[in-house]
Structure formats: C-alpha cells, structure tokens
Structure 1
Amino acid sequence: MVSHPPISSDPKRRFDRRMSLVFAGNFVSLGIFFPFFPVWLAHEGLNGEEIGLILALQIGLRVLVCPPVLRLADRSRDRAHLLIATSVASLAAACVYTIVDGYTQILVATLVLAAVWCPAIPLSDAIALSGVRRLGSDYGRSRLWGSLSFILANVVGGIALGHLGPGGFPMVLSLTFLATVAVTLFAPRMGRPLRASPLPLSPSQEPWLPQRSLTSRLRRLAPAPDLRRLLPFLLAIALIQASHALLNGFASLVWARLGYSAMEIGCFWAIGVIAEVVLFRLAAKPLRRFGVRSFLIAAALTASARWTLLTFDLGLLGFAVLQTAHALTFAATHVSLQSLIGSSVAENRFGAAQGLSFALQTILMAAATLGGGLLYETIFSSAFYAMAAMALTAFAILLLAPQPQSEGSGGKTSEPS
C-alpha cells in the first residue's frame, strides 16, 4: 500500500473551484432541456402520447449506453478526458434540433443526443467523489453550483423563450451546450482511479474481464458482489427519483394548461432548485448525524405528499411553496446516493456504482415517463397519483432493507497495477 503525505488546502480549493465550474456547465443545459423541451415538442405538433414516447425512449436508451461508458471510465487514464468528449458530442447533437422537422426526425435526434449526453452527470459525480476520497472535498458544496446554474437557465430560458416563442428552443439549447464545452475543459485531472486496499473484489470477480462460457457471460450482467449488497437502497433511490418523471416531462404542460406564463413556469422550476441548493449546502452534518436511511425515508414520504398535492390547482403561491419540497424529494435522495457510494465502494469502482444506480433510475424513469404520458393524455394531473404510489413503494423497501456495510478499507488506497 502506498502512503500519501497530508494534502494541503490549496489542491482542495483548486479542485472545489474546478468541480463547481464543471457542475455549473453541465446543469445549464439541463435547466433548458427539462422545463422547455416538452413545450417545444407540443409546439411542433406532437400530442401527449408522442411526447411521452419520445421522453421514455431517450431515457431508456441511456440504460444501454451509460453503464458501459462509466465502466470504461473506471479503466481510463483520466475520467475528465471522457467527460470532455461527451460534452463536445452533445453540442453537435443539440445543433441537429435546428434542422429537424416532424415526429420521426425529432425522435432520432433526441435518441442521438441522449446517447452522447447521458454519461456527463454520472462522470462528473465520479470525479467529484474522487475529490471527496482523496482531498476531503465536500460534494454538496460543489454540486450546488450545478443547481444554481439550473436556476439561472430556468429563469433566463423562460425570459428568452417568452420573447422568441417555443420555436427558439433549439437555438437556446445549442448555446447552453456551447457553454458546457467551454467550462468542461477545466475539469479536474485526477489521473487513473485508485484501487482500495485490500481490493473489494478478487481479479476473477472483476465484471469486465472476458469469460469463456455462456453462463459466465450472462452472469456478468448481474451486479458484482460489492454492489449487490447496496441493491435495496439503490432500488429505493431509483423509485424516488423515477417518481419525478411526470414532473420532468409534463409539469410545465400542466402549468401552461392551467394558464401560467412561461416566466411563471420558469420561476416554479427555479424555486424548486433554490430549495435543492440550500439542502446541498447544509446536508453534510445532518446526513452524518441521521444517516442515509433516515434521509431517504424523509424523501420518500415527502415525494408521496408532493405528487398527491400536484393533482390540485394550488394557485401561484401554492405551487411556489410546494416546489420547495424538491429539497427533500430530489436533493436529499441524490446526496444520500453519493454518500452511500462514497462510503461503501472502492474509488476504482465509483463508475460501476454510478452506472448501476443510473441504470436502475433510468429503467424506472423510462417506464414512469411512458406510463405517465399515457395517463396524462386521459386523466390530466391525476396521473401524479401513480408517482405518489412509486414513492410509497420506496418507503416500504427502506423499512425492510438491511443496513449496508462500508468497506473495511475505508479511504485507504493504492495505485492500480
């Protein structure tokens, strides 16, 4: 095992600044895509079923693309190189929206964008967790800058599209991806991911090694032993996050149908993310005190209540207040996931852990988005009751799940062979 001298605060501050910039760049594009993409699809003449299918298929494609890319990143010379490549490819794919016309072309363009864009956030999380492990960085304080840029994009995007109309969405989205490319060039270079000592898996158990028999090849599709014990918690996290499907895909349409302007809709999204920022900033101490399970139970119960209330027209003030629940339904769930991975998985397996969690979330998100689109077409906002049921299922799993145990090696690392 290689021992490392104490790390000075300067590398930590440098890492935090660069990681904050990376998160900010990645989330500015999300701040345009999430609230305004469905509105643009409706503007292009697509109905609720077609919108739901496009959203679901692009989410489902991520399951096939993202986990292999993240496993590749675990073996790369530096995860930052792959992150830069995904941002450049995403810019090129987003520009295609400026020339597409009709359902089929929009669907193909969306699938291409999903394939190249999907690894960006999990890759950023993996790099950030390396900083937590090596430098003692505070993940939440870096991640909150992503939320702040999301807010800025919500508000500025709402103003811009209020003047340009929904047809201006492709141009605005392409400009945000250009900004993402610029800031991603400053991503921290951490070198090869470090291995924990002792290794959590023997060489024969590493899931990426070639296998001879068909049975062994099929067995590679199952989670490795170090991740298998986290499955109940990862499934509960996936259910809570996937219960946001109707919010992400159709809340803007619900609010527009109720008569709220693009500016007001942008503000609703911004309020939710402001609450998210506050939680990211303050989460470290209460998370250490109460633990991952308590955070997730609070998130599941709050999500169930939030989706139930969204079936009513609460008025401008009511929706604004309800959006503050995003701090618990999304942010508490996400920071719990990163804490779980950071404390339970070796650094050279961060990508694999992020990939497994991403796959679970994406499969459920795709199903919830497709089902939500069909329900929205028939029962309008009452479709949120299905999202509440997903959150309650997560609550039941959390009550029954065994407490995960962290690796005995803690944060000790050695260079990979």
Structure 2
Amino acid sequence: MSAASARPALMLAYFTYFGVLGVFVPYFGLFLDGRGLDSAEIGLLLAIVTASRIVGPNIWAALAERTGKPMLIMRSGAVLAILGWCSSFADIGFWPLLIGFTLFSFFWTAILPQLEVSAFHFLNDDTQAYSRIRSFGSVGYIVLVMLGGWLFEIFGSEFIPASALLFLILLLSSLFLLPPISLSLSTSAVSQRFIDVLKNPLLLRFMAAALLLQMSFAPYYGFFTLYSRDIGYSGTQTGLFIGIAVAAEIIAFYYAGKILRNRSYKFLLSICYSLTVLRWALVAMFADNAWVLAFSMMLHAGSFAIAHCCAMQFIQQFFPKHFRSKGQAFYAGVIYGGGGAIGAYVSGLLWQDGAGASFTFLAAAGLALVATMLAISLPKVIPNAATN
C-alpha cells in the first residue's frame, strides 16, 4: 500500500484515537469528582491507571515483534479497551472504577506506539508528512473537548461514558481500514543488544528531560477543569480555553515539518521546555485573568506539539530501524506511563481539594525548568545508537 493511499486511513485513526482522549483527559477529573472521590483518591486512581502505561507498551511491543503484526495488536487492544471502558457506566464505588479504568488503560497502550510505527512505515520516515497527519489527532481532540464543554453543561459529568464509548467504537472501525503490515524483526540477540542501547547516557538524559516535562503536565491533565470551575469559569469557557491550546497544537503540528527542518532539535526542545515553565507559572498566578489564561494555552503549541515532534524525530533517528517499535514503546511507557503516574499522584497530594492549586502549578513550572536545563545539555545532532 502506497503512502498516499494509506494517509486517509491514518488520518481517521489519529482523529478517533485522540477524540477519545478529548473526552477522557480534560473531563475525567470532573467525572471522578462527580462520583464522589476526593482529590487524593482522584490522584491515586489517575496514578495507578497511568502506571499501567509503563508496562503496557513494552508488553504489546514484544507481542508485535513476536508476531510481526502490529495491526493485529492495535485492533485487539482496541477491542479489549472497549470492554474495560464499559465499567464506567456502573456507579458502584472507587475500587470497581479503579479496576475497570486500569484494564482500559493497559489495553489502550497497545494502540499508539504501534500506530506511530505504522505511520512512519507507510510514510517512509517523512517527518513533515507525519506531522501533518498527526495534526488530525489534534483536530479530533479539540472537537471532543469543545463538544464536551457543551455536554457537561447539559448533562453533567455523566456524559463521559457514552461519549467516549462512541469514539472507541469509531476508532476500532478506523483500524480495520488500515491494511495489515508485516514487520520482520530480528530474533533474541536483538533484545539483548536493545538493553545495551537503553544504557546510552544520551538516551538517559533525553528521557530524564522528557519525563520531568511530562510530570509537569499532570496538574493540567488531571485537575485543570476542576481548577477552572473553582475559579468561576463555566464548562463552555473551560472547553474554549482547552480548545485554544489544541488549536495552537494543530497549527504547530501542521507546520512542524518546516519548523524542524534544518534546525537543531536541542534548540527547539530548549525553547519548548522554557515556554512550558512560563505556561505553568502563568496558570499558577494569573488564571483568574481570562486573557492571560488564554495566552498560556497558546503556549501548548511549543510545550506539547513541537516538543512531541522533536521527541519522535529523536526516537526515529536514535534507534536503529529494527529497534524502533521497542523504542516507541519504551518512550511511551517511561514518559506517558511513568511520568504521568508520578505526576498524577504527587499532584493529587499537593492539590488538597483546590487549596493547593496554585502551588501545584508552580511546582510543575519548577519541574519544567529542570527539564529545560537537561535539554540544553543535549548535543545538537542526534547520533544513531548503532554507531555508538
């Protein structure tokens, strides 16, 4: 299948995948709050659910390598994630929610790393083509975020289970539009060498910076809708703020290929991470000013979109081709799983049902500052691990 013919299916897959996250990420805290959980319980649930993303991607990557069929792994993960999500329809307490969402999150991790690998496979490692197709994920996210703000005002937080389920089913359908691909990978000797690659000091420094940055996003992902509500913004206004962030993200993704071309990833990462410091500081101190809060949301273009494309560029260039599936899974597990889990748990402790909201975002700014210093220490050119 040619890159051109695969693009519509890839666009739809990214649109539906991030459409699910457009319901889950911004409104999940409100949903759990509506079910009667306090901030410590919300932080704990988010941390445990997110922790499943540490081991999940690596398990699914190992299965994809063993079978050589990443599309089968994605489709299976989507089916099982739907089953886990169905637990959200029952209001029967903290532990059933925890078990159901942990299963959902674990199976959910089967999808994105393999989708990224498949996308680069179909696009022949064209970063510019990838960034434009990836922007459809941001479109899906913003559509559901905006729609979610409206639905929240009408139905309250219980709009989430059915809305996310609909997009989960659409996601599964979109994955069947992608043709199967067979990736013939090396055998057991490769796995041993992969462990050696993970010990590379450059990779460890890059991962540490990305981990701290992801931890800094935890208050935003887990508590921003609650924060916005407590300040006095309506559900529609909150959806608009998040919509501004995602609109900036879409534009950044669309032009990311041109932005990255002939520019040092180190320079771009340093800029993006420093903008994140400014972003969380503004949210901490000036969130009651709608214009300042809207401006802080525009910084999402750098702190997420361009930073993500730089990270994907690093993974694609640093890991030899036969390691890229494992590299994507390792990155997803450590950064989104580990960083998200630690950040969510600590944020839940610091939040104190809203009393520690400003301090929590200031702490996030501090983490982003350390990440910036690590990014500045990286080399200008990404070496391939096979040459080190």
Scaled by the length of structure 1, what TM-score is found? 0.86
| Residue 393 of structure 1: aligned partner | 370
Establish whether residue 371 from structure 1 lines up as the match of residue 355 from structure 2: no
Choose which of 224, 243, 265 in structure 1 pairs with 2:196.
Answer: 224
Alignment of 1:208-357 (within 5 A): 223-225=195-197, 228=200, 229-312=202-285, 313-357=287-331
Q: The residue matched to 2:346 in structure 1 has which SS? A: helix
CA distance in 1, matches of 2:278, 2:127: 36
Relative to structure 2, which stretch is displaced further, 185-194 or 382-391?
A: 185-194
RMSD of aligned Cα (Å): 2.2
Are the equivalent residues in 1 in contact too, given 2:35–2:91 (CA < 8 A)? Answer: no
In the TM superposition, what are the counterparts of 1:58-97 in structure 2 within 5 Å? 58-97=49-88
> TM-score normalised to the size of structure 2?
0.92
TM-superposed CA distance for 1:205, in Å, is 4.4
Q: Does 1:128 align with 2:102?
A: no
Report the structure, 1 or 2, having the larger helix content: 2
Deviation at 1:295, TM superposition (A): 1.3
CA deviation digits over 1:325-344, x for unaligned, max 9? 00111111110111112222
CA gap of 1:398–1:135, structure 2 versus 1, over 3 A, is: closer
SS of the equivalent of 1:289 reads coil
| 3-state SS of paired residue (1:151) | helix
Gaps of 5+ in 1: 1-9, 196-202, 209-219, 410-417
1:175 corresponds to which of 139, 145, 166: 166
The corresponding residue for 1:161 is 152
Partner of 1:381: 358
* Identical counterparts, % of pairs: 24
1:204-262 Cα distance to aligned partner (Å, 9 max, x none): 74226xxxxxxxxxxx9x84327734222222122222311110001111001111111
Q: For the residues of structure 1 that align with 2:7 and 2:262, how far apart are their CA atoms?
A: 24
Does the Cα contact within 8 Å between 1:234 and 1:357 map onto a contact in 2?
A: yes
Is contact 2:56-2:333 (8 Å) kept? no
Residue identity opposite 1:190 in structure 2: I
Change (3 A) 1:130 1:38: same
The answer to which of 39-48 and 122-131 deviates more is 122-131
- How far residue 134 of structure 1 moved from its aligned partner, in angstroms, is 6.2
Residues 94-115 of structure 1: CA distance to partner in whole angstroms, max 9, x if unpaired? 1111124211111111111111
Count of residue correspondences: 381
Bigger mean CA deviation after superposition, 77-86 or 394-403: 394-403
CA distance in 2, matches of 1:96, 1:239: 32
1:207 to 2:179 alignment:
no
Of stretches 337-346 and 400-409 in structure 1, the one that deviates more from structure 2 is 400-409
Q: Does the 8 Å contact 2:120/2:126 carry over to 1?
A: no
Task: Please tell me whether the aligned partners of residues 246 and 387 of structure 1 are also in contact (alpha carbons under 8 angstroms).
Answer: yes
Amino acid at match of 2:196: A
Q: Which runs of 5 or more residues in structure 2 are unaligned?
A: none
Q: What is the rounded CA distance, in whole Å, between the counterparts of 1:25 and 1:326 in structure 2?
A: 21
